[in-house]
Amino acid sequence: MAPTVRDVLDDAEFSRTRPELAAGVSGLDNIVRWAYTNERYDVASFLSGGELLIIEGRALLAHMNDDEIVEYVDTLVDAGVSGVAIELVQGIREVPAAMVRQADARGLPVIGMRVRRPFVDLCQSINTAIVRGRFLYRAQLDILSNDLHRRLSKTKDADAFALVLSSVFGENVTIFDAGCRSVAVAGKERSDAGMGMVDGPTLVFDVRSRGVPLAGVEMTQRTQIFESGVRDMVAKILQQELPHIMHVDAKAAVAARLMHGPNRSYAVRSEVTETSALLRALGVDGCSVFFPFAMVMRSPATSLVHVSRLTGLSENNGVRVPVCMLEGGRVVGLLADCDPGSDGEFSLRCHDWLRGISGREDVWTLAGKVATDARSLLNSIGLLRTALDMQTPVYGYASDCIDTVLPWFAAGVSTAESCAMLTGLMLSGGLSDDDVLLETLAVYFDVMGNKTEACSRLGIRRQTLYNRLDKVAHMTGVAREDGETWSLMLFAAKLARTMNMPNPHRGMDGVSNRDADVRND
């Protein structure tokens, strides 16, 4: 284990300075990667994080006002410095009050050294201990790795596998398959239902076979907090050994391929063709509307009950759940409605279901965008994946992928790609090929939803406008009550019309010249 600031205070050589903690008690457990000395005011630009900075301080702090001292502390914290040790022997006898206040506020340990010792001796002693500890830690990790490899390689099933993990680390262990089912539980507090309510942090490992989710392994951290080296070692061994006793079924492979999303920010023709085939393989190619979603959990052992709750809510309403796949500490899934009469209300119902299961503080749900064909579904899955990467989980809260659309649009590598992404995502169900509906939506965007003005510009009656908007809702699955998604769809329609200009159906004043169509409406 790497030493902390607390450990350095007990170092044989450093303790001869009669160290006193002056500020930043909350940072005593900061990891010390290296001891270093430099008296420059801009020393932060020379640091890489984890340093214990040892300074004499007289030439530096004595000539700084309070604002400069506060800025000095902030730059050290922002650079990742673990702590500062200041010699308080000559010139400066106390740590400046401004430094104490800011260091306490930022959690930066500040240590006053009352006895002068050569800085080279202090750095040598601390750094030698760090290096020695790393060698010892590496040796211990190798022993643990070899033992774990040997014991796990002899297991024949998931129960035995979980039992070995639990006995080696003294923690409770639950193994889930990719379908969110608990397949093995081990530990002192095991039960047939799993680990039960888990207090404190847990580790969740996402185990895959040839890139396809295979299993999730959750371990408590009640007896120890696993350092990154141990976590990486366990993850590597699980990836090597668990596929020997658990296998990916064909449906899971199909679901994983579907939920991977497009390779770029928008779907291309070959990917759409493949998506149609994948939907047939899952038995939902006859469904008229799809809704991807994700659920991020603090602990799968305590939160996967919400998956069965979601499944029950949906299936009781005639909705199918063709995909519900565990990826470590999160679930990605797909809801599908095969009722040919489905419209924008399906999306609203899906949002309500997700909000209903996110009321607990251990779950964050992320709603995707409703889709009505293979292309829009693939684009919506791509948006879901992007939102999972861009948004920070807020447990106990239900978020929406739509919140990510504009940042994603703005971050596109090119204007053309951004436009293709947005129009491909929002103009689904054949809407992008319907010039009449596209123009209607573009004008509706121009007049900011003013129906009277929209009818005037389009030369149609109000009922005709309502009929067109209802048709759009049916084609795309987006309800007009879903204001944010509807607004983005209007923007995408306007963008699509602008990208296709000049258009022979559009006059110089921007109003359609399709007189026959207008008069017949």
Specify the pLDDT at position 503.
37
Instruction: Find the mean pLDDT for residues 129-134.
Output: 87
Q: What is the pLDDT of residue 359?
A: 67
Q: What is the pLDDT of residue 518?
A: 32
Least confident of 329-338, 422-431, 443-452: 422-431
pLDDT of residue 58: 81
Higher pLDDT, 224 or 300: 300
Mean pLDDT within 206-225: 90
Percent of the chain whose predicted confidence (pLDDT) is above 70 = 91
Locus of tokens 């001292």: 69
Can you list the alpha helix ranges (DSSP code H) found in 447-480?
A: 451-458, 462-476
**C-beta separation of 427 from 485 below 8 A:** no
Q: Strands 51-55 and 83-87, how do they pair?
A: parallel
Q: 210: how many CB neighbours lie within 10 A of its CB?
A: 9
With a CB cutoff of 8 Å and minimum separation 6, the contacts of 455 are: 461, 462, 464, 465
| pLDDT exceeds 50 at position 93 | yes
Cα(168)–Cα(150) distance, integer angstroms? 12
H/E stretch holding 378: helix 374-390
User: Would the pLDDT of 316 be above 80?
Assistant: no
Superfamily of domain 153-247: GAF domain (3.30.450.40)
Residue 250 has pLDDT above 80, yes or no: yes
51 vs 2, higher pLDDT: 51
CATH top class, domain 5-127:
alpha beta
Q: Look up residue 91 and give its two tokens.
A: 């010139």
* Model confidence at 341: pLDDT above 70: no
508, pLDDT greater than 80: no
Task: Give the span between the Cα atoms of 121 and 112, in whole angstroms.
Answer: 17
Mean pLDDT of the chain: 87
Asked if the model's pLDDT at residue 424 lies above 90, the reply is no
Domain boundaries, the chain: 5-127, 153-247, 251-413, 427-520
Which tens digit of pLDDT belongs to each residue from 274-284?
999 999 999 99
Which whole-number Å values give the CA distances from 37 to 47, 122, 359, 398, in the listed order? 11, 10, 51, 48
pLDDT at residue 59 above 80?
A: no
**What pLDDT band is residue 16 in, cutting at 50, 70 and 90?**
very high
| Averaged pLDDT for residues 288-294 | 92
308 compared with 322, residue with greater pLDDT: 322
Predicted confidence at residue 75, as pLDDT, reads 94
Contact 383, 405 (CB under 8 A): yes
Alpha-carbon distances of 197 from 273, 300, 362, 452, 499, rounded to whole Å: 44, 10, 11, 57, 54
Pair 125, 17: CB distance under 8 Å? no
Task: Please check the confidence at residue 309 and state whether its pLDDT lies above 60.
Answer: yes
Query: For residue 408, is pLDDT > 50?
Result: yes
- Look at residue 197 in the predicted model and tell me its pLDDT: 45
Q: Give backbone dihedrals phi and psi of 383, rounded to 5 degrees, phi first.
A: -65, -40
Average pLDDT over residues 38-55: 90
Q: pLDDT grade, residue 57 (50/70/90)? A: confident
Reply yes or no on whether the pLDDT at 83 is more than 70. Answer: yes
Residue closest to 197 by CA, chosen among 296, 305, 291, 110: 305
What pLDDT is stored for residue 340 in this prediction? 59
pLDDT of 333 > 60? The answer is yes
Residue 511 has pLDDT above 50, yes or no: no
- Under the banding of pLDDT at 50, 70 and 90, the label for residue 308 is confident
Question: pLDDT above 90 covers what percent of the chain?
Answer: 55
pLDDT at position 349 = 86
Instruction: Give the per-residue pLDDT at 154.
Output: 94
Highest mean pLDDT among 40-49, 410-419, 433-442: 433-442
- Which DSSP helix (H) or strand (E) runs through 217? strand 212-220
258, amino acid identity: L
In whole angstroms, what is the distance from residue 291 CA to residue 384 CA?
10
Residue 192: per-residue pLDDT: 44
Q: Is the pLDDT of residue 515 over 60?
A: no
Is 429 or 161 the better-scoring residue by pLDDT?
161
